[in-house]
Structure 1
Amino acid sequence: MTTPTGWRKSTHSGNQGDCVEVGRVGTGAAVRDTKNRAAGYFTTTTEQWSSFIGAVKSGRFGA
């Protein structure tokens, strides 16, 4: 398994602590909680990540 690199969080998060960070891993993405980075992360394929981002942008998850 490749170690995630380039961790970043949304600029819309500001200084709030209730955020997630996204990193690059292989040909997909890794996601972790900024409040508990030591808990690890989960990974997705590029296709899964693209589908999730599309759903978020379309408002599928509400507010």
Structure 2
Amino acid sequence: MILEPPAPRYDAPSPADGLNWVKSSHSGGGGNCVEVAPVDHLVYIRDSKDPYGPVLAVTPQAYVGFLTATATGEFDSPR
């Protein structure tokens, strides 16, 4: 049996949806930040410079995996 991938979702929240968007305390306020809004079973991620732009939705487990990989240097360029 062949399983089809899930259809893309186009119901991403807009800034007017009243989500509590937060950014890291390490962002420094320069406007070049990533913001997140955890809601129920998803974590929404957007670019703070473009609040009406694309929004990525991931599971909390995927978000924690991303944070862990980032913190441990998994995505760092080889030296």
TM-score when scaled to structure 1? 0.81
Q: Which has the higher helix share?
A: 1
Please list the CA deviations of residues 21-42 of structure 1 after superposition, one character each: whole Å capped at 9, or x if unmatched. Answer: 0111221210001111111311
Correspondences of 1:1-63 after superposition (within 5 Å): 3=13, 5-62=19-76
1:13 partner SS: coil
SS at match of 1:31: strand
Q: 1:12-58: CA deviations, max 9, x gaps? A: 11121111101112212100011111113110011111111110111
Structure number with the higher strand fraction is: 1
Gaps of 5+ in 2: 1-10
Quickly say closer, same or farther: Cα 1:11–1:49, change in 2 above 3 A.
Answer: same
Structure 1 residues 33 and 2: alpha-carbon distance in aligned structure 2, compared to 1, 3 A threshold? closer
TM-score, normalised to structure 2, is 0.67
The structure whose Rg is larger is 2
Alignment root-mean-square deviation, CA: 2.1
Give the fraction of aligned pairs with identical amino acids, expressed as a percent.
Answer: 32
Unaligned runs of 5+ residues in structure 1 are: none
* Number of equivalenced pairs: 63
Task: Write the letter of the residue equivalent to 1:56.
Answer: T
